[in-house]
Amino acid sequence: MAPGTDLPPDSEPTPTRPARVRGRKRKVLAVRLIEFAIVLPLIAVVTLVFVANYRVLTVPAWMVERVEARLNAQVPKGDRVRLEQLGIGLDFRDRAIIVDVLDARLERRALADRVHLPKLSLEFNLAGISQGLLQVRHVRVAGGTLRLTRAEDGQFDLGFGRDAETIAQLPASWAEVLDAVDAVLMHPLAAQLSSVEAGALRVVLSDAVSGRRLSLSEGAVTLRRDGRSTELVIAADLSRARGGAAPGTFRLALSRTPGAGAGLDLRMIGGRSDDLRMVFNVDAGTAQDATGRVDVLSVLQAGVDMWAVGEVREDGTLSPLEARVALENGVIPGWEGAAFDLATLEVLLDPAARRLEVRRAEVRAPQAKVTATGQILAGDTLSDPLVVQLALSDIAVDPEGVLPNPAAFDTGVLEGRLHMAPLRFEIGQAMVAAGPSVARASGQVWVPRPGAIAANLSLSADRVAASTVTSLWPDAVAQKTRTWITENISGGTITDFAAALRKDADNPRPAITGGFGFEGASVRYLRDMPVAQDASGIANFHDNRFSLRIDTARVPAGPWGDVDIGGTSFTVPNTRIKPAVGEVDLMISGPIPAVLSVLDNKPLSVLERAKRSADFVQGQASVQGWLKVPLVKGVPLEQLDFAFDGVLTDVSSGVLVPGRQITSAELALRVTPDAVEVRGPLELDAVPMRATWRQPLPKSKGAEPGPGALTGRFAISPQTLAAFGIDLAGFGLSGQAPAEFEMSLDPARPQRLQLRSSLEGLGANIPALSWRKTPEATGELRLEIATGEQPVAVPVMAISAPGLAVEGAISLAEGGGLERALLSRLEVGNWLSATADIRGRGPGRAPSVAITSGTADLRRVDFDTGASTSVGGTSVPLNIALDAITISDGIVLNNVSAEVSTRGGTNGRFTALLNGGAPIAGTLVPSAQGTAVRIRGDNAGATLASAGVFRNGNGGSFDLRLVPRAGQGRYAGSLDIEDMRVRDAPALASLLSAVSVVGLLEQLGGEGLFFSDIEADFELEPGAVRVTRGAAFGPSLGLTLDGTYGLTSRALDMQGVVSPFYLVNGLFGGLFAPRDEGLIGISYALSGPASAPQVRVNPLSVLTPGLFREVFRRAPPAPTQ
């Protein structure tokens, strides 16, 4: 029966077991009722004259009181009978006397009603009364309350009335039931009894054992006898018990034939599981037995249709009962998703064998369909568990709302034990099979309290298809894990599947923990990554965590072949967070293009972001790393976190650095969200080095990546520079020095290699510049090489070393070799600061060098006289255009233009302005101490004035020879001047005035003194000119000179002889005087500033023949050896 409307506490108190009515009192009560029935016919005889044709006459009140008094005299002390109204009638047609009683009560002073019958109608046999026999033919009761109570000791009691006490104890066994029915029917009073009908009853069922109450309306009890057969029918309306819900009825029929037992027919139509539970929950024993007990029916909420037929044998035992139960629209409270449409059970119950044969059981639910046969065995006592043994067939799992695809099994087995206190099903074996695939389960499911389900199950399978596992996995159980397995593992075989399912009574969602292996499967470890094929490995899931490890698998990578991802693992630490985060530990090996193509898939898109193709590097790769990524579509790059490290072997690339070949035996790879890096020892165009290639990756898809770069270190030497197409043969390089380089690989810009070196270990020698660097000395070399251009160019070259600084740019010719080098800075020591233009002249030939501007100070250079200035035995053409060349203090050549060759030494011609004034032309020739210079001019006076030596000359030719001596700024020189006229020379004027040569002063101040020849031998040294021999000859005057002239101080310290009338005087002087002097000469000395010198004359020297004139003067300066 469905749960009825529970009676309010004030109207239906929880029943308790009343004091047991002794057997004698029960008999007295029955006698009083019979006497009550006898009195009424006697009264009827008195009133027959008033009654005719079944007219009921209401008995007067005084007569009712007399009847009550008569009855009360017979009831037990303390009880009282009350009759509200009596009526008597006579039915001549049926020969019956009818007695109607309204509101009959049997009361007890201390309590309310013991028995209350609102309307009672009795029909007696008229013939029997006439013979002195009281025989009831029909009994009818309308209205009232029938109370059926089970006390705490398990005894069932019966009562009539709202607050009625127990008036009888129901039989405790079927034998007692039969005896009771027979005893009633065999009583003389019931000899003519045909029927007993009680209708419109309110039936109240109270159970002190379970604590439940149920109130039913429209209850009816009918007893009919036909000959020796008797049928007892108990029925009730179930709808009002459920508050006017769908109609439902209950009917129990017992057909009795004395000596032949009784037939039993039980039916319930439109009931509920609670109705069935209340009516048939008679196996709980006592209240003590029921403590902690949850019966089977308490777990379900379902509609019930049922019937059961059987026989109660004469000895009171039950024959096997056939029964059919149909449960519709059922749910299991406390277990989300546990519902069914229809469950039918056809059984044969053998009470003697304690065996329930399940002939057919079928369950149809949204999530499953199954048919079963088997048996259920009961124990010796109520506390013993039931043993369930079922064979399953036609098993189907319906995907609607639960599974993505139907799952069907051919056969199955369910074996276990069903415990009642508390309700618990212990699964010894549960198995389903579909072809060769077999899945098993064990554990237990129990109901700790009504409405609560708990479970502890172990699930296993040896070898099943992957689709079978996912088809058996309900959505409600570890839904995220199941979804991932369904979407990402396909094909192949699941091996050694084992799982533990746990469901707490307070949690509607079960938790599942377990793992499995897989073979020959296709596994997608990330949504957009290529599927791993022929994969084998293991997977584990625990609570909200899922992990998978691939032991062996291959991933197709298009034209690049397959890669091996054995050792890769995938983990979701928490499947419940939204979005869940996947953690991949990736291990991948194979050809480099294939590995890179895998890493180029979403969400990484490494090559796409780097704007590279997969084949830009060849070789083999072994990569491992990790990746954390939200498991949703379209993950922004900024939400990615990953790092991959690997080893690349047998590496080669002609694309990474365009136009250059890279090879390596082994390199290290690292990939992060910021960049791709490759590092290690390699050879770039056969140049050994340790290098790192780094390609930045943009943060947003579609954005241009930053420029890549190749950086590293290698040993710089003539050979490594030549490998880059850089020819620095003119530097006389030897040895090697460590260098650092960085090469920009920006495709949008020209490719550049920037090289830096400390030059430690590298020797250099440039004899033409008198510069040399030892290997121990350090400096700095900086080159920017345009390696992407053909031919290669060096737009930036900077060399800094002790005594040398070079800056400029180099372009190389087609096929290698120097095309042109433009030096914006060429500084050698502290003597040369210039710019240069160096041009190649083809293989085997030294380049031509053009000094295009700058200055040189020959005072500060000590040329290496023993070194050849040629390159490779070939001449080096030099074109020099210097702004100034400082020869010595006070002697500077300006606007120098020269063409020089280095074959056999420096030789050539040049032109210049001496000290910015007189133009001169010169010749360079090799000498023992360096380059000798011969300077010629057409205006000796202007040349001497420009040199600051003599500012008063005019005209004449000029021929100056300078030969380097040991030491910086030292030269041995000779000077020849022809046809120069001297005018307004202060020093000479002072001299002539001192010697009082008449007429020469006037001539000096006029048109000037004419000298046909001027000769001088001198030594040029820093700050001074030392004249070892000097002579000037003219018709009017001869002059000798030796001493020192300060180039910086312009001070004189000289001496000599003046020979007047040299044209005549010199003729004799050649015979009797020193060279260049006349016979008559005057000795003199000059000192002080050249602009106003002090002149000292020895007058006596004029009287001294030239042969003895040396007595009056000092020795001239000796030439330096």
**Closest residue by Cα to residue 463 from 481, 437, 484:** 437
Picking from 285, 310, 306, 305, the residue whose alpha carbon sits closest to that of residue 295 is 285
What is the pLDDT, as a whole number, of residue 254? 86
Structure tokens at 253: 């029929």
Q: Six-digit token pair at 976? A: 């020849």
pLDDT of residue 1011: 81
β-bridge partners, 851? 836, 880
The residue with greater pLDDT, 121 or 114, is 121
Give 1035's DSSP letter.
S
Residue 215 near residue 201 (C-beta atoms within 8 A): no
CA distance 581 to 575: 8
**Start-to-end Cα distance in the chain:** 144
Condensed to tens digits (0 to 9), the pLDDT of residues 630-662 reads 877 777 777 788 899 999 999 999 888 877 899
The whole-angstrom separation of Cα 115 and Cα 101 is 14
* pLDDT at position 768 over 80: no
User: If you search the block for the tokens 């006029």, which residue do you land on?
Assistant: 1006
Q: What is the structure's pLDDT at 1076?
A: 54
Please give the average per-residue pLDDT across 324-334, as a whole number: 82
Q: Tell me what pLDDT residue 1057 has.
A: 82
Edge-first strand listing for the sheet containing 734-735: 734-735, 762-766, 771-773
Q: How far apart are CA 48 and CA 59, in angstroms?
A: 12
Q: E strands within 208-274?
A: 212-226, 229-237, 249-256, 262-272
The mean pLDDT value of the chain amounts to 79
Question: Which of the pair, 928 or 959, is modelled with greater confidence?
Answer: 959
The span from the CA of 34 to the CA of 2, in Å, is: 38
1114 pLDDT more than 50 = yes
Strands 301-312, 321-331: parallel, antiparallel or unpaired by DSSP?
antiparallel
Task: Please report where in the chains the tokens 């419109």 appear, as a residue.
Answer: 200
524-557 pLDDT tens trace: 877 788 888 999 999 998 878 888 999 999 999 8
CA dist 973 and 934 (Å) reads 9
Write down the pLDDT at residue 293: 41
| pLDDT reported for residue 90 | 84
Q: What are phi and psi of 47, to 5 degrees?
A: -105, 15
Query: 643 has which bridge partners?
Result: 626
Mean pLDDT of 236-241: 71
3-state helix, strand, coil in the chain (%, to 5): 15, 50, 35
- Give Cβ neighbours of residue 697 (< 8 Å, ≥ 6 apart): 606, 609, 610, 673, 674, 675, 676, 705
- Which among 365, 256, 395, 364 has a CA at the least distance from the CA of 313? 256
Asked if 484 contacts 514 with a C-beta cutoff of 8 angstroms, the reply is: no
Output the pLDDT for position 647. Answer: 96
Which residue, 1040, 1027, 1042, is CA-closest to 1069? 1040
Q: What pLDDT score was predicted for residue 866? A: 46
Question: What values do phi and psi take at 402, rounded to 5?
Answer: -130, -55
pLDDT of the residue at 578: 81
How far apart are alpha carbons 639 and 253 in whole angstroms? 75
- Whether 913 and 942 have beta carbons less than 8 Å apart is answered as no
Max Cα–Cα distance, the chain, nearest Å: 223
Check residue 1121 and give its pLDDT. 54
HSE, CB side, 13 Å, CA atoms: give it for residue 95: 8
Distance CA 864, CA 905 (A): 11
Burial class of residue 534, CB neighbours in 10 A (0-12, 13-18, 19+): middle
Q: Is the pLDDT of residue 715 over 80?
A: yes
Q: Strand (E) positions, 858-939?
A: 878-888, 891-901, 907-914, 918-927, 930-937
**In angstroms, what CA-CA distances link 87 with 30, 123, 137, 509?**
22, 12, 17, 67
Location of structure tokens 């149809």: 364
Structure tokens at 992: 């002539």
Find out whether 743 and 753 touch, Cβ atoms under 8 Å: yes
Where is 1004: in which H helix or E strand? helix 1000-1005
Residue 958, strand partner residues = 937, 977
Q: What is the mean pLDDT of residues 960-985?
A: 83
> Can you tell me the mean pLDDT for 1046-1070?
70
The fraction of the chain above a pLDDT of 70, given in percent, is 78
Query: What's the pLDDT tens digit per position in 12-55?
Result: 443 444 433 434 344 444 444 444 444 445 444 444 444 444 56
Cα dihedral sign, 894-900-906-911: negative
Higher pLDDT, 345 or 334: 345
Separation of alpha carbons 77 and 316, rounded Å = 37
Residue 1058 near residue 1078, CB atoms below 8 Å = no
Q: Using 50, 70 and 90 to split pLDDT, how confident is the model at 172?
A: low
Q: Check residue 525 and report its DSSP letter.
A: S
User: Which stretches within 47-125 are classed as H helix?
Assistant: 61-72
pLDDT digits (tens, 9 = 90+) for 830-840: 888 999 998 88
Give the Cα separation of 171 and 675 in Å (integer): 91
- List, in order, residues 6 or more apart from 902 with CB less than 8 Å away: 768, 846, 868, 869, 870, 871, 875, 876, 877, 878
For residues 28 and 157, the model is more confident at 157
- Cβ-count burial 964-1002 (b if 16+ within 10 Å, e if not): bbeebbbbbbbbbbeebbbbebebbbbbbebbebeebbe
Please, is 88 exposed, middle or buried when counting C-beta atoms within 10 Å of its C-beta (0-12, 13-18, 19+)? buried
Q: Is 934 helix (H, G, I), strand (E, B) or coil?
A: strand
Task: Classify 176 as helix, strand or coil.
Answer: helix
Compute the residue count for the chain.
1121
714, 681 contact by CB (below 8 A): no
pLDDT-derived band at 581, boundaries 50, 70, 90: confident
* Residue 689, pLDDT score: 93
413 or 46, greater pLDDT: 413
Q: Locate tokens 């041009």: which residue?
A: 839
Q: Is the pLDDT of residue 500 over 70?
A: yes
pLDDT of 629: 84
Q: How confident is the model at residue 390 (pLDDT cuts 50, 70, 90)?
A: very high
Give the integer Cα–Cα distance in Å for 308 and 379: 22
- φ, ψ of residue 1111 in degrees (nearest 5): -65, -30
For residues 258 and 182, is the Cβ–Cβ distance under 8 A? yes
pLDDT for 1065 equals 57
Q: Is 46 helix (H, G, I), strand (E, B) or coil?
A: helix
Q: For residue 635, what pLDDT is reported?
A: 76
Beta pairing partners, 344: 326, 362
Per residue in 1072-1105, pLDDT (tens digit) is: 445 555 556 778 888 888 778 888 877 766 555 5
> Is the Cβ–Cβ distance between 372 and 392 less than 8 Å?
yes
Q: What is the DSSP letter of 922?
A: E
- Mean pLDDT score, 320-333: 86
Q: Indicate the residue type of 906.
A: T
Encoded tokens for 608: 């796409």
Average pLDDT over residues 360-377: 89
Residue 1000 to residue 988: CA distance in whole angstroms? 10
Tokens 């791993």 locate to 532
User: For the segment 834-875, what is each residue's pLDDT rounded down to a tens digit?
Assistant: 999 988 887 777 778 888 999 988 777 665 544 444 544 556
